[in-house]
Amino acid sequence: MFKLEIESPVDMPRDTYAFHIYTYSGDMDDYHDLRGSGSKEELERVLTIVTRMKKAYPHGRGGGDSYADIKGFVKFDEAYEWPRDGYDYIEDTPYWCDVVYYDLNGIKYKVKVNDKDRHFF
């Protein structure tokens, strides 16, 4: 016979967007990811910066490069820390992003991001 005990409640995000960005380094020799969450405005800021990265360097960076020349990247990197390779270079290429939304009751919804230029999603 099992005894079931209800533990303390788990706080769920509320009225929040969460993102999961998938990246690769080199010739897809290594994979990383980046997760974060925030308001709709914060999500739009993140997606704008990552889309700029993808548009400027569709095949990624390499050889110790970074995305420092991309408008808004430095502050974005300070807030979220873009994945680094084994040499601490900031050259990972974004290739996919999942977004979900948690409503005021903590119910999770998938979010479809419409990127008219099809650079990222």
Domain count, the chain: 1
Both tokens of 81, joined, read: 């820390």
At 29-59, the pLDDT tens digits run 888 999 999 999 999 999 999 989 888 888 7
Residue 8 lies in a domain: no
Amino acid at 76: F
Residue 64 lies in a domain: yes
Residues of the domain holding 106: 16-111
d(CA 20, CA 95): 11
d(CA 6, CA 34): 32
Strand order of the β-sheet with 93-102 is 30-38, 16-25, 93-102, 108-111
Residue 40 lies in a domain: yes
The predicted pLDDT at position 75 comes to 93
Residue 41 lies in a domain: yes
Residue 69 lies in a domain: yes
Whole-prediction pTM value? 0.82
